[in-house]
Amino acid sequence: MSYFVQYHNLDKQRLNLTYPPFSATRLCIHTRRPNVKGADGQVFLVAGIGHPRQFFLWETFTIEEVMPKPSGLFEASGTGWQLAPPAALEGKSFDEFKAACANFVGFRCTNDLPYTRTLRKLADLHRTPGNVEQIVDFLWGLYDLVDGDHRGRDVVRRALTHYGEPVLALSVRQPHAEAIMRGVKKIEYRSSPTQVRGRIHIYASLGRYTAAKESELMAGYGINDMACDDLPRGVLLGTVELFACDGGEWHLRNPERDEVLPKPAKQPQPVWFCPY
């Protein structure tokens, strides 16, 4: 069998993740190199992202079809798997492999390179469905690597949400925040709709209403076992599922209060923010 490597720059190309993440089995690569037309064997897709650049073995497939595209590219496709999670590529042996591949310029056969054996082992080790804990850890790392790419962060956030991992925090004043965590407040009213779905953090903001307004709200929610002044503020109270949106009505369910109420590591914002 022949083995080939293709490089994918995630900083320049759109980051796409399947749902469930890393579950695709029909895969493809695009290249301008005409040598792909006669290629027959297994492709390893190496992805690079971040500064300094980090490299991962992202997916592998067996070439079944090569088609020319109107743009001048060739598309090679076939059946394989995405690594779950993608495997980090680093160290002296990898640096030598990268140099031998001319820093991954173009589509190259790697049968003559010893590192190909490492790629084969990593691909077999990280077959889908993979280890959920390892996948979640990888996705959190990827979320940091795509910092500044808002679309990329949205893609990773949705993938994390698939595993029940809340990424975003919603700032809510007290006593509304407490009412949400008690399951009393099931709709959060906002001025516009949201596309966010899944579990989210509830952040009890520092903002205050007047004493009269807070007293009215506490009574309306039936919170009579503590004073509004004693409600926690400036901390994350727990998580809740945002499962539907009807205009400015955001529907919530299944609150889970944290035993320890941490302060967010990042600066809170008036509506959405990433607390970690």
DSSP state at residue 104:
G
Report the distance separating Cα 186 and Cα 180, nearest Å.
Answer: 7
End-to-end CA distance of the chain: 46
Residue 70 half-sphere exposure toward CB, CA atoms < 13 A: 0
Ranges of each domain in the chain: 2-132, 166-273
Report the distance separating Cα 236 and Cα 258, nearest Å.
Answer: 8
Report the distance separating Cα 266 and Cα 276, nearest Å.
Answer: 6
Task: Give 123's pLDDT tier (boundaries 50, 70, 90).
Answer: very high
Reduced to 3 states (helix: H, G, I; strand: E, B; else coil), residue 150 is: helix
Residue 94, pLDDT > 90, answer yes
Report the distance separating Cα 276 and Cα 264, nearest Å.
Answer: 6
Number of other CB atoms surrounding residue 52 within 10 Å: 4
Q: Please name the residue ranges forming H helices in the chain.
A: 92-100, 115-125, 132-145, 150-162, 176-181, 211-221
Residue-wise pLDDT for 140-184, tens only, equals 999 989 887 888 888 998 899 888 899 999 999 999 999 999 999
Is the model's pTM score more than 0.95? no
Q: Kindly report the average pLDDT of the chain as a whole number.
A: 94
Q: pLDDT > 70: what percent of the chain? A: 100
User: Which has the closest alpha carbon to 5: 145, 33, 149, 19?
Assistant: 33
Report the distance separating Cα 107 and Cα 176, nearest Å.
Answer: 57
Fold of the 166-273 domain: 2.30.130
